A and B are shown apart, each in its own frame.
Chain A
Amino acid sequence: NAGVTQTPKFRVLKTGQSMTLLCAQDMNHEYMYWYRQDPGMGLRLIHYSVGEGTTAKGEVPDGYNVSRLKKQNFLLGLESAAPSQTSVYFCASGTGGYTFGSGTRLTVV
């Protein structure tokens, strides 16, 4: 009964490197979301998906790409990491109230 699982939990990247964050949910939810959380800024929506094979932009999509090839998985990619992408990334799923994952702490140096 895992809920929402995010991997990795921590990562340090050099500027210009790429990486993929994985979110997996076992609750059969159609809707999935990627947020970033920064001090004083709260949670801001990066991208979201309303079902398998669909993706859409949120508030702060620049520099990120996503894919939802399987209903249970939602991937967030950073094409060329920048220091401004240093943040804590949360995946969430559900309708009505969300279930959040435990987060990925990413530092770009």
Chain B
Amino acid sequence: QKEVEQDPGPLSVPEGAIVSLNCTYSNSAFQYFMWYRQYSRKGPELLMYTYSSGNKEDGRFTAQVDKSSKYISLFIRDSQPSDSATYLCARGGNFNKFYFGSGTKLNVKP
């Protein structure tokens, strides 16, 4: 079983929609998570970094962790065509190693 599972998509939404991206993880020992955005042929860039359960908000982005179901989510409000990218979730491990999902490709249509 992979450490982090993520639906690869692609997910296609109209501009202005609320987007929900989800991951599940298997190891509860480490409770910090990251979301990255990766544009085509570019390196991943950090979007959000969260500890433990609850929500963290940054502008149009909200990261949510549900420890009981081992579920992490990223919500994007008022989605824009510039949000079209692949979104990677990751779970933290020892020595600051992170285990990544395979990424969900998002397409926001104008």
Contact = CB atoms under 8 A, between A and B. Distances in A.
Interface in B1-45: 4, 6, 8, 32, 34, 36, 41-45
Contact of B96 (A35, A96, A102): A96
B39 to A, nearest CB: 11
Interface residues of A, number: 25
Contact of A98 (B32, B42, B46, B95): B46
Contact of B97 (A40, A48, A90): A48
Interface stretch (B67-75, B77-85, B98-106): B98-106
A53 to B, nearest CB: 15
Contact of A96 (B49, B88, B99, B103): B49
Interface of B: 4, 6, 8, 32, 34, 36, 41-46, 49, 88, 90, 95-103
